[in-house]
Chain A
Amino acid sequence: DQQVKQNSPSLSVQEGRISILNCDYTNSMFDYFLWYKKYPAEGPTFLISISSIKDKNEDGRFTVFLNKSAKHLSLHIVPSQPGDSAVYFCAALTYNTDKLIFGTGTRLQVFP
């Protein structure tokens, strides 16, 4: 039972353009959503998060949008840079469980 899904296994974007990574979830009890970036041979690095009471959170080049009615969130990176090339995981949890559920990941490649 995959509660958090990333349906695009890979995405290729030109440098300077916008990257949009998508994530869908099935559990309406999730309270908090996060995005992580992972380079090979490193652990996941926290990027940005959003509470279920909000619909947008922005931090520099990164913006996360949450659509609760559609059970969908997205990460926008603008402008995209070659150093952004990595695997991106969305993740979700409920406040009373402390159990982080990861999506399957999307590999982003930013080319010059």
Chain B
Amino acid sequence: DTEVTQTPKHLVMGMTNKKSLKCEQHMGHRAMYWYKQKAKKPPELMFVYSYEKLSINESVPSRFSPECPNSSLLNLHLHALQPEDSALYLCASSQDPSRAQPQHFGDGTRLSIL
């Protein structure tokens, strides 16, 4: 069982829709991450939140908007996405962003853009 919970598991949306992906962890971790994974490719980092502040944005298009309301929650707001944005979106957390520690992943949201 994963301790990082992502909802929804699947999402189908049109290019004009607005939707949000949600991620939650209750391990007391202070760093949270969004990754994007295309089929047969490794996960690619999108955003890092460290102590609830955005610390890394990997030049992600503005149609993806992250939000960290508190230390346990991470959202990814989606607007005007393109078909090439269809992918598995993974959330992860780690205990202390100032130390090299394993990141623990959720099971992801499978996103399809029509």
**Interface size counted on chain A using CB atoms at 8 A:** 23
Bin chain B's interface residue count.
Answer: 20 to 34
**Interface contact A95-B42, CB-CB below 8 Å:** no
- 16 more A-B residue pairs beyond the given contacts A36-B105, A41-B107, A49-B102, with a C-beta to C-beta distance below 8 A: A31-B100, A32-B100, A34-B102, A42-B107, A42-B108, A43-B90, A46-B102, A46-B103, A46-B104, A98-B31, A98-B94, A99-B56, A102-B42, A103-B42, A104-B41, A105-B42
Q: What residues make up the interface of B, taking CB atoms closer than 8 Å to A? A: 2, 4, 6, 31, 33, 41-45, 48, 50, 55-56, 90, 92, 94, 97, 99-100, 102-108
Listed A/B pairs (5) with beta-carbon separation below 8 Å: A43-B6, A98-B50, A100-B103, A102-B43, A104-B41
